[in-house]
A = this chain, B = another copy of it.
Amino acid sequence: MIIDGKAMASQVEAETRSRIAKLMEKGIVPGLAAILVGSNPASQMYVRLKHSACARVGLRSENVQLSEDIDEDKLLAKIEELNRRADIHGIMLELPLPKHLDPRKAMMTIAPEKDVDGFHPENMGALLLGAEKLVPCTPKGIIYALEHLGVKLEGAEAVIVGHSNVVGKPLAAMMLNRNATVQVCHVYTKNLVEHTRRGDILVVAAGVPGLIKADMVKPGAYVFDVGINRVGDKTVGDVDFDAVKDIASAITPVPGGVGPLTVSMMLSQVVSATEAQTGHL
């Protein structure tokens, strides 16, 4: 089975739209601010994608464009201004920042309750402690898909390839919170194949095109490919999709798998943040 991330995302978006409608009835208009510093073309594209996703579900989104050479003080002051604004419920800061700015400091300045990317240490800590609030959107999307597919996480063998702050580490903690047995591998792992072959659930977020071949996957596994790699004029994942799809129970394609799910979780989290801030849980 191919996991249709687009279709699943559409369903999440439909639910999100109806949650927004309920808030609107009460006079609450959820609002997202997306901050972009400078004019990195990839970042510009991601921000555009976010705004168009917001538009799709009827979420008000504001574009905060700052100049490449902005002082750190001014960036932090801008974030604090957004923290104070009652009509802004979610704040996203597009990374990477220009080199003279400290991304950690900027992320920490975002009010935890408006941190819809889930990157603030307080949100990451709550996640690690099993009291998940706002969490990173890609792990959230993968957990959502597994639950949606009826995959039992308790006692399942989950293998994650990649130990980034954005995917691998938070996903490992979220899987542990659900009592999966969790293995995390990465570029320093010896005999990767011995580990990946044991995963009932295999999540790959390594950024290496075609890293996972058919003989590295347990027959019947659920495979999530987080990779987005440009090879020639094609976008491919970290998994050799054509070979692995015949072995796996289910697999996400690239594009059209984890990507759309991630975006839909971002939208859903803006609404959750709004609900929490306005006491309409």
Contact = CB atoms under 8 A, between A and B. Distances in A.
Interface of A: 104, 119-131, 154-155, 157, 163, 165, 168-170, 172-173, 176, 179-186, 188-190, 195
A265 B223 CA distance: 41
Ranked nearest first, the 4 interchain pairs of A and B with the lowest CB-CB distance are A121-B125, A125-B125, A124-B125, A179-B188
For this chain, the copies found in one complex come to 2
Nearest to A185: B181
A173 B195 CA distance: 18
Contacts of A154: 188
Contacts of A170: 128
A180 B125 CA distance: 21
Contacts of A124: 121, 124-126, 128-129
Given A121-B126, A125-B128, A128-B173, 15 more contacts: A119-B129, A120-B125, A122-B125, A124-B126, A125-B127, A128-B169, A128-B170, A168-B176, A172-B182, A172-B184, A173-B173, A179-B186, A180-B188, A181-B185, A181-B190
A1 B228 CA distance: 47
B188 A155 contact: yes
Contacts of A181: 183-186, 188-190, 195
Contacts of A155: 188-190
A119 to B, nearest CB: 8
Nearest to A155: B188
A202 to B, nearest CB: 14
A190 B104 CA distance: 39
A174 to B, nearest CB: 11
A215 to B, nearest CB: 19
B169 A173 contact: yes
